[in-house]
């Protein structure tokens, strides 16, 4: 598949990042929403609620401090597989639901990446939308500060450009409307395909385009098309198996060891 494909579309969700130690949001008992008691939230999803953020930005900023890329969590083999596909000139685009920035840390070029739910690489005021320096925002969050807008008398709250409930997805997300027409292979890794409009990308790919699912469970419409391939497995096991079948395993391990020597 991927060895002959020239325009590979990759979709990834929280199941990819859990192998870097980041909890997903919804798994009972272990998910992020079940482990937010320390923030004294009225309900778990409030940590990504814009109205609640205005009333009390501290819980989200505390969580942001924990999740900032490179502080505690590092990319895994799945992230480096996406980079390797790109280095071989075959990656059309990678769409990720994850806000952790691990794709960027793994070296995926920004033009090849769509962070559907935003991320930490930019920051802006939630009132006037003035862009703020992401590095300065990061340092302020690490100091435990609430950041205010520098635009004249605005003084609105500033946060990393992570999409909160009720906020529009980034304009860049809608690149998928053209990308699905160019794709000759779709690889879906570690997502439930339950959150829309992200999940819709998998169905917008033309029916004659092969789709490969690497996931613990069968999700979405996988299995309903003639050219679907489903591998239910541990994500890293599936990524490793795919790399071996492509004859890329040695290259993948060398790439990973070069950039993650302490892992």
Which of 117, 132, 227, 249 is the catalytic position?
117
Contact 149, 156 (CB under 8 A): yes
**In which element (H, E) is residue 113 found?**
strand 113-115
Q: Does residue 249 have an active-site annotation?
A: no
8 A C-beta contact, residue 114 and residue 88: no
CB atoms within 10 A of CB 207: 10
Distance CA 241, CA 70 (A): 27
Query: Whole-angstrom Cα distance, residue 8 to residue 227?
Result: 15
Which residues 6+ apart lie within 8 Å of 139 measured at CB? none
Q: How far is CA 99 from CA 64, 104, 127, 248, in A?
A: 10, 11, 21, 28
Q: What is the largest CA-CA distance in the chain?
A: 59
Which residues belong to the active site? Answer: 117
């Amino acid at each position: 598949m991927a060895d002959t494909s020239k325009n590979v579309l990759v979709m990834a969700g929280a199941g990819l990042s859990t192998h870097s130690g980041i909890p997903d949001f919804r798994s009972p008992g272990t998910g992020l929403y079940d482990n937010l008691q320390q923030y004294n939230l009225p309900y778990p999803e409030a940590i990504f609620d814009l109205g609640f953020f205005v009333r009390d930005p501290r819980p989200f900023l505390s969580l942001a401090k924990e999740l900032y890329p490179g502080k505690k969590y590092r990319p895994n083999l799945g992230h480096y597989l996406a980079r390797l596909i790109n280095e071989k000139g075959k990656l059309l685009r990678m769409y990720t639901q994850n806000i952790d920035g691990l794709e960027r840390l793994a070296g995926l070029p920004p033009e090849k990446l769509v962070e559907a739910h935003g991320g930490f690489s930019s920051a802006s005021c939630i009132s006037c939308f003035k862009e703020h320096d992401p590095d300065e925002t990061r340092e302020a969050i690490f100091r435990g500060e609430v950041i205010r807008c520098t635009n004249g008398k605005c003084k609105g709250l500033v946060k990393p450009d992570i999409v909160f409930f009720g906020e529009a997805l980034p304009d860049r997300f809608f690149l998928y409307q053209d990308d699905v027409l160019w794709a000759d292979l779709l690889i879906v890794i570690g997502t439930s395909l339950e959150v829309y409009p992200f999940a819709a990308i998998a169905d917008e790919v033309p029916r004659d385009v092969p789709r490969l699912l690497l996931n613990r469970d069968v999700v979405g419409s996988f299995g309903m098309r003639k050219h679907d391939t489903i591998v239910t497995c541990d994500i890293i096991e599936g990524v490793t198996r795919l790399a071996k079948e492509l004859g890329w395993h040695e290259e993948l391990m060398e790439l990973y060891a070069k950039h993650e020597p302490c892992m």
